Amino acid sequence: MPRLIRKLFQRNRALLDDLYHAAHLAITAWLRDRTGCATGQSGLVVAVQTFGDFLFWHPRLFGADALRGAT
């Protein structure tokens, strides 16, 4: 995450939820485009990490995703 907006997330931690939802929508759209499955459902497992090396504030998402096609 760019340093310019890290403080915004530090002051309002509820935005981390919005960050997750934005990532989920983006990953789902990308998977649907790559697989050609327009109605596929994305399953996302995400961990939100807010501190990096030396305990500096650095929010980011780590996750794994899969796409299940509709029947």
Sign, CA torsion 27/28/34/35: positive
Across residues 40-69, what is the average pLDDT?
71
Asked if the model's pLDDT at residue 70 lies above 70, the reply is: no
Distance CA 23, CA 29 (A): 10
2-18 per-position pLDDT tens digit:
778 888 888 888 888 89
The pLDDT, as a whole number, for residue 65 is: 65
Total-model pTM = 0.68
> Helical H runs in the chain?
3-11, 15-35
Rounded Cα gap, residues 49 and 56, in angstroms: 11
Q: Who contacts 62 (Cβ-Cβ below 8 Å, separation ≥6)?
A: 46, 47, 49
